[in-house]
Amino acid sequence: MTRKFRLSLKITVEANPYYYYLNTIKHLKMSSGGVITQMLTLVPIKEGFLKDLEIYAEENSVPIIHKEVSDLLKVLLKVQKPKRILEVGCAIGYSSIFFATIIGKDADIITVERNEKMIEKAKENIKLAGFDNNITILEGDAEEKLSQVQGEFDLIFIDAAKGQYKLFFDLVIDKLKDGGLLVSDNILYKGMVAHDDFVVRRKKTIVKRMRNYLDYICNCDYLSTSLVPIGDGVALSYKESKRGDVDGIK
């Protein structure tokens, strides 16, 4: 069988040299030595139900995870083999269904969504995908719903209002197992978080909050965080034991 690929050429403008918020952007600068870095990505085209959802999302401007990010998460899920996932920001259910497809019948996914239209569509999609026993939607604002969530999770995916990531983090971090993975999506927010030149005035506060959030998760002593500049930017944070590791070295 021949595999189809979509070839996408991306031009990434690197960060202001005086503004080293993101280590990943520094790496880009070092490796390119120029002002513009070209990233060539080969993204396999998905088929089937997920593909239909991608088309729906595109046509209806629903911000589902980028293909590059879902490819990375697929690899991580195959390695980590999580069973329980907590997601903040369900939208039409695309990422939840994507996770469930990888994990299979043992998947236990809780996802939070406040937009009624999205909830309705997500329910329909989850049923069509055959995961209504695996995916539970908590309907309402994350601030209220997350405090009601019981138990521990192997992976937590934050993908909702970008100005509220620290609030979501505070509500979920104790529910993440030691050795668990926290994934935060859209951390570069169209490049605005990496570079002041991209910031539009009305997004200033959100950008400032996201930068503070990244600062926090990059310097948190029980997290090992990597900021990955693919898609709209994704942060991967591995959670160590809060009590310190075996060697006592932090």
Contacts of 71 (CB under 8 A, 6+ apart): 43, 44
Minimum Å distance from CB 65 to Mg ion?
5
In the shown chain, the binding pattern of residues 131 to 160 toward ligand SAH, with x for contact by CB under 6 A and - for none, equals ----------xxx---------------xx
Question: What tokens appear for 60 in the block?
Answer: 């209806």
The entry of Mg ion, ligand SAH, none near residue 64 (CB within 5 to 8 angstroms by kind) is: ligand SAH
Position 95 contacts ligand SAH (CB under 6 A): yes
- Which listed residue (73, 109, 110, 112) binds ligand SAH by CB under 6 A? 112
Q: Which of 14, 108, 113, 232 binds ligand SAH (CB under 6 A)?
A: 113
| Chosen from Mg ion, ligand SAH, none, partner binding at 28 (C-beta under 5 to 8 Å by type) | none
Please say whether the beta carbons of 110 and 87 come within 8 A.
Answer: yes
Q: Which stretch binds Mg ion (CB under 5 A): 3-11, 50-58, 124-132, 154-162?
A: 154-162
- Residue 152, contacted partner among ligand SAH, Mg ion, none, CB below 5-8 A by kind: none
Structure-token pair, residue 193: 């978080």
The only residue of 94, 153, 165, 169 in contact with ligand SAH, by rule CB under 6 A = 94
Question: In the complex, which residues of this chain contact ligand SAH (CB under 6 A)?
Answer: 63-65, 89, 91, 94-95, 112-115, 118, 141-143, 159-161, 164
